[in-house]
Amino acid sequence: MQPTDRRIAPAKRGGKRFVIAALLSFSNIVCAQDTRFEPDHQQIPPPDCLLIKEAWEGGSKPCNQQDHDAWLADIRHWRSERLIRIGYDGSRYQLPQLQWTRSSFIQPQMMVQDRYFYDPVAPHYTVDRYLDDLERRYGGIDAVLIWPTYPNLGIDDRNQQDLIRSMPGGIVGVRQMVADFHKRGVRVLFPMMMWDQGTRDPGKPWPQAIAELMEQVGADGINGDTQDGVPLAFSVAADKVGHPLAFEPEDGPSDEALAWNVMTWGQYNFPFVPMLDRYKWLEPRHMVNISDRWRRDKTDDLQFAFFNGVGWESWENIWGIWNGITPRDAEATRRVATIERAIAPFLISPDWEPLAPMLRYGVFASRWPLPGQTVWTIVNRNEYDVKGREIELEPQEGMRYFDLYHGTELKPERHPEGKIVLDFEIEAHGYGAVLAAKTTPGAGIQELMAKMRGMTVKPLASYSKEWTVLAQRSVTIVGTKPPASASPDGMIKIPGGDFVFKVEGIEIEGSDDIGVDVQYPWEDSPRRFHEHPMRMKSFWIDRYPVTNAQFKKFVESTHYHPQDDLNFLRDWTAGNFPAGWDHRPVTWVSLEDARAYAAWAGKRLPHEWEWQYAAQGNDGRTYPWGNDWNPHAVPLPDKSRNMRGPDAVDAHPQGKSPFGVMDLVGNVWQWTEEFTDDHTRAAVLRGGEYYQPQGSIWYFPLTYQLNQHGKLLLTGPSLDRSGGVGFRCVQDAE
């Protein structure tokens, strides 16, 4: 990009509209900064001479020192002017409560449903188990973003803060869980969804509500989901309650907001030549965690992080879909993080020199000077090893050089022209780090070198790059005895027959990638679309969902009270459901609560295909009553911020199925199958519900169609219970 031409040709068209347009155009031009390297969103481009150009593009020329110096002078000028233009004040980075962000290099987004994080049987949080697993696999983490909201948010009227309060143990349990992370030196963030405007109104301004809740649980920061900068009001509110928080928007904030958004996600482009992070360049103390959730090869993420002296979002559990880190990427993460943690003071150097000159093509470095010593972080973007002369420097009396990556001291080679050259090896798509110092390295650097000597004996290339899908298992549903009566009360017999079970998941994200949705016993992997011919045995199914009155009989007969009772029968008071709710479906019961009722009744929960067969018959219809939508067959949707409660189970007789089964869709979701893998539990929900929070596409997706199902991620009963989920039972007939 050439410097802006500030001249405007004389206008020759009449009319106010053209004059105004010309003035606006002039305003935009004079406000622009002079730079040949205008940032592309969050990234600043390298000098043109580093880019390979084919012959038809004019060919390439190698960079020389003058090219580098001109580029560096340009982006330094841009930075200086930009900081003046935004009136930058970096004092927030000096707050003692936020200084942890400077070295928060590895931060996973962790779903609360991760089975390494919580044991619902014990029941208790298993923070040590979770952290020990990450330590073993890729060297541990510095912070964790705990995610209790999307994609379950919107299954009922609990807002995002209510879902944190609904986590096992409530506020007291969450606070202790956060303290357990702190004992291991790990900081804790929670998300904030500004799009959550359709569920319960928090009753106070958002900044205040969030600040107070985070103070209650002792959290350290907030990730701003879908936000391009978290407004200053949120930092002010956190300071007001005496609990400053690190705010981390998903997308890059305005440059002005850099003053109070001390962290950012980095959602980058990854060309061959590394680009600079705009915010790290403006404020070296700013921490970026590169987020690239769906990519299966993390080399670009880790190399751009190491080059920029920033961190990585080591995100594997993506809304219950496992995108695990490969062994090679795990080992690369261990090495990158180990080095970055040890050299963290260098990586906030105000004199950072990106793309410091290197001797070999495709090898790129950042130079991080501090008084009397300097560190280089280096990446090899080539697909081949590079060994030999790497860095050429002016000699300095008494200066020693250390290969931090391999943990050895380097012996500089002096050339006749007076310069010295450092010779070392960087493997394909690998990493390097060099320290120059006139004194013996301190204990921290010596410890780093000892670790790296042992760690790098085995090259990265020897670790597998193969990505594998995580298999799922369906939880066994134990059969029942046939009913004693030839016609059990309140049940309908579904005859056996041939049935094509065809259904798809309605997850918002994941496309049709392997690993999305669930894996049935006849499938070899989870996938979104399912079709399987079946020979159905006959069975009995409840004509209606289980009602409040029926569930009360169970509770009174058995004195049932779950160990984890938070949110249990939340809409009841003192053991009684609201007046007039006898025949409404019982809700706020977990999968475990529903199973307990079914066992007491001599029944069980249905397999999903049984539920669908009872609703659909064998003609593949879209709805229980046929293929055409009938609004009178379902309750009126509730689009308010507070749930009104479901309709009576017998209120919509037009909704019956071919077999006469009632209230299958549109009133409350209904529990069926449970699926597990090593990291996630999830339940398949059928039928849809009456509650439809408005204002966002990100709420729990809804369907009334019989060829679609919902997938609810499971943590523990307190969080799993919902005002939008009930159940019905079946009994084997053969």
b vs e for 307-328, b when ≥16 Cβ sit within 10 Å of the residue's Cβ? bbbbbbbbbbbbbbbbbbbbbb
Residue 164's pLDDT is: 98
Residue 179's pLDDT is: 98
Span 522-538, average pLDDT: 98
Span 180-208, average pLDDT: 97
Residue 675, strand partner residues: 474, 682
Q: Return the higher-pLDDT residue of 194 and 32.
A: 194
* pTM, to two decimals: 0.93
pLDDT tens by residue, 197-231: 999 999 999 999 999 999 999 999 999 999 999 99
Residue 734's pLDDT is: 86
Domain spans, the chain: 473-732
To the nearest 10°, the Cα dihedral for 532, 533, 536, 542?
50
Asked whether residue 14 carries a pLDDT value surpassing 70, the answer given is no
**Right CATH for 473-732 from 3.40.309.10, 2.60.40.1120, 3.40.50.11540, 3.90.1580.10:** 3.90.1580.10
Count of other CB atoms within 10 angstroms of residue 350: 9
Asked whether residue 647 carries a pLDDT value surpassing 50, the answer given is yes
Query: What percentage of the chain exceeds 90 in pLDDT?
Result: 91
Pairing between β-strand 420-426 and β-strand 413-414 as defined by DSSP bridges: antiparallel
Quick one: tokens of 142? Answer: 């510095």
pLDDT tens by residue, 537-594: 999 999 999 999 999 999 999 999 999 999 999 999 999 999 999 999 999 999 999 9
Span 165-186, average pLDDT: 98
CA distance 676 to 211: 35
Q: Where are the beta strands (DSSP E) in 396-528?
A: 400-403, 408-410, 413-414, 420-426, 431-437, 473-474, 491-494, 497-505
Pairing between β-strand 246-249 and β-strand 221-225 as defined by DSSP bridges: parallel
Residue 247, strand partner residues: 222
